[in-house]
Amino acid sequence: MNFSFTRLMAVMKRDMMENWKTNMYRLIACYSGAAMAFLFGMYGVLSGNRGETGEIQYTSFCNTFHSILSFVTYFYLIVCATRIMEVMNTKNKRISYMMLPATNGEKFISRAIYVCITSMVIFFAGLFFAELTRLALLPLFDAPKEFSSFCLFDIMSVSFYDTIHINPETYGASSTFIPYLFLISNGLWGHSIYILGGTYFRKHPFIKTWGICMAAFFLILYTLINISDEGTLIYILKWMENLADKSSWINEEVIFSTISIIFLALTVFNWTLSYHLFRNSQITDRKLFRR
């Protein structure tokens, strides 16, 4: 009945041993995709920016891949998040997993670690080997000396404010963490939605969760557009501006901090509901959205 770290490690070891082929295929897929992207991207930058200095070419390469890598990483994580119940997507797997001598909390934590942390390790291991491949094949390209450096650190260290076009002077030097908080909380909330979808849907969880999210997005967007003839974005910006003008203590920092806290609270709610669904899993299929 009590949490045991030893049992948790045993469950995690079982997951890793039974999914070693899947993990290997994912590593190969991440490596292959990243290696081709790095090589073709570098070739495109070198051939498209002839006449520019090596520093400018290298900066262009890093800036381009920073945006691409950010999108691909998040997309990869939400796809992996929907695989949290992969070990229980068939009747035989559910019977086997439910009979494990471990608590529901230990099993759920094991699966959460697998789809969040282990998947991230596999992804970045693929990136690491892809970067080594780029460096090994660099002599085949007529590339400036700047490209001989390990570019992953430079790609990931591209200015956050340059990426999302936010000027730190807008918020002040003491509150530059607000854009980070807003972005992180938004990302965690979106990721938790796919964790929730993965715990409910046993077959094609990503497609079904993505479909529901898109339907909800367009429904909300349609509703907001009909609230104001000026359009959704203009309406929201004017509402925030009027709210800030009416209250001296309310500004952009307070509004975005409040939204971030709401996103974090929704993230906790989604994870809690996901555990509730996991704990109440049954051998038979659910009647709603029967697969």
Residue with the larger pLDDT of the pair 144 and 195: 195
Q: pLDDT-derived band of residue 232, with 50, 70 and 90 as boundaries?
A: low
Higher pLDDT, 244 or 105: 105
User: In the predicted model, is pLDDT for residue 178 greater than 80?
Assistant: no
Q: Does position 43 have pLDDT exceeding 80, yes or no?
A: yes
CA-based radius of gyration for the chain:
23
Neighbours of 105 (CB within 10 A): 15
Q: How confident is the model at residue 174 (pLDDT cuts 50, 70, 90)?
A: very low
Average pLDDT over residues 21-36: 92
- The string of pLDDT tens digits covering residues 50-65 is 667 778 888 888 888 8
Q: Nearest 5°: phi and psi at 21?
A: -65, -45
Examine the pLDDT at 250 and tell me if it is beyond 80: no
Tens digit of pLDDT for each residue in 14-27? Answer: 888 888 888 999 99
231's enclosing H/E stretch is none
**Other CB atoms within 10 A of residue 124 CB:** 14
